[in-house]
Amino acid sequence: MVTGEIARITVRYTQLGGSEAQNVFYTQLLSGTVTDAQALIDLDNWVNAGWLDEWEDEASEDAEGIGADFVIVNTDGTVDRSLGSSSYTSHVGTLTQDEEPPATSYFMYAPTAVPKIRGRKFVPGVPEGRVVDGLLTSGALSALIVLADYYVNTYVNGSNSYGMGVLSTVLQEFVPFIDSYVISDVPAYQRRRKPGVGI
């Protein structure tokens, strides 16, 4: 993986009743060159020791992060090559509460410097106890801030740095986040309408 190449990370979850959800992330190598094997180690660490570690602290015990797929993509969105996949068995939600209906999600978005281009995340696993009178509790919002901060900030593993952002297939370029985000105190409701398309 060389400077400027773009990786797509697809994180997979299971939920109440056996339904599945995905989150899709895009990142770009900011400098230098790393082997594809090292890129896989770096990006797997972003998911396994970062995103899912933070996510499970605010997820119902009915939800689990089960794996991730890593590919290098071209600026038109087509896959250049696969880096590999990982399976996880240690990322079960830690909150001993029933899950809200599976399509109920935490919602956050991260803007870019380009109008109307932003990263949106519908994050699964919302526990019933984190929603009171239709709004997320203060504890849930505090945890979401940590998760959103992790989502938008540059990831550094050793000497390798990866910027987070959005792949615009219209502009055919990677558009980085501007180091800010918005979280919603209202649970979102998102259904996957196309097989293989993440939320």
Strands 155-157 and 6-14, bridge-based pairing: unpaired
pTM of the model: 0.93
pLDDT in tens, 165-188: 999 999 999 999 998 999 999 999
Spell out the residues 6+ positions from residue 84 whose beta carbon is closer than 8 angstroms to its own.
40, 70
**pLDDT of 192:** 53
pLDDT in tens, 26-65: 999 998 899 999 999 999 999 999 999 999 999 999 999 9
**Residues 132 and 90 sit within 8 Å (Cβ to Cβ):** no
Under the banding of pLDDT at 50, 70 and 90, the label for residue 193 is very low
